[in-house]
Amino acid sequence: MNKVKFILKEMFFLIKKHKYYFIAPILIVLAILAFLVYYIGPAVIVSFIYAGV
């Protein structure tokens, strides 16, 4: 868990330092998708991607 906290802290520091604020929503969506794939399972997410939802 410490590695995840460290990575998130560094990521937000770099976004703030270099003023890449447009990247933050993309990273949030990717984090939510990764969370769903991890807890629900990849088969459910893949079916939504192929269905075009």
Q: Along the 53 residues of the chain, how does pLDDT read in single tens digits?
A: 788 788 888 888 988 899 888 888 888 888 887 777 777 777 776 777 777 65
Q: What is the pTM of this model?
A: 0.54
Distance of alpha carbon 25 from alpha carbon 22, whole angstroms: 7
Q: Assign 52 to helix, strand or coil.
A: coil
